[in-house]
Amino acid sequence: VDYCLLSDHGCEYSCVNMDRSFACQCPEGHMLRSDGKTCAKLDSCALGDHGCEHSCVSSEDSFACQCFEGYILREDGKTCRRKDVCQAIDHGCEHICVNSDNSYTCKCLEGFQLAEDGKRCRSKMSANQPTMAANTFVLIMGIPTSANAQRDFF
C-alpha cells in the first residue's frame, strides 16, 4: 500500500512509505523538524563538523570560518595563521620590522642604534670619530662637429 499517495502527507521534501504509515524525509544537509513534516538546514557549526581551527559562523545556507584577533584565515578557508603585523600596517621602521605577538618592534642594521622614537636608526659612531666622505666627479667631454674645430681641438 502506498500511504504517501493515499494521504495528504504534507511533507515539505519527500514522503517515504513505512510498514503501516508514512514518514517525511529531508534532503542531505537538512533535518526533520519536530513537526515531522518540515525540514531545517543542519547547523554545521553546532554539529562540530565544520573543520574550523578557531571559530565557526553559521549562515542560512552554509558556514564560514573566522580567526581570533591577531590571526588571519589561510587559503584553505579553515585554518589560521598569525597576522604579519609588519606587512599589514605602515610600521614606519627605518631599517627592520620584527613581528612580536600582535605587535612589532623596530631594529637597526649593524653599526646603527635605534633612536628615541623607536623607529629611526642613527649611526653608532660618535661625533668625534672621523668620518669618510666620498665624492664622485663626472667629466663630460664635448666633441666638436666642424672640421676646423676638430683640428683646433686636438
- Nearest by Cα to 69 from 88, 93, 51, 50: 88
d(CA 112, CA 93): 13
- Nearest by Cα to 42 from 53, 28, 55: 28
Domains and CATH numbers, the chain: 3-42 (2.10.25.10), 43-83 (2.10.25.10), 85-124 (2.10.25.10)
Question: Reduced to 3 states, what is the DSSP secondary structure of residue 145?
Answer: coil
Give me the phi and psi of 87, to 5 degrees please.
Answer: -90, -25
Burial classification of residue 2, based on how many CB atoms lie within 10 Å of its CB (0-12 exposed, 13-18 middle, 19 or more buried): exposed
pLDDT digits (tens, 9 = 90+) for 39-83: 988 887 887 778 999 999 987 777 899 999 878 899 999 999 888
Looking at the predicted structure, is the pLDDT value of residue 116 above 90?
A: yes
Q: Alpha-carbon torsion 45, 47, 51, 52, what sign? A: positive
Averaged pLDDT for residues 13-18? 93
Element (H, E) at 105: strand 103-107
Averaged pLDDT for residues 18-40? 91
pTM above 0.75, yes or no: no
Averaged pLDDT for residues 3-8? 87
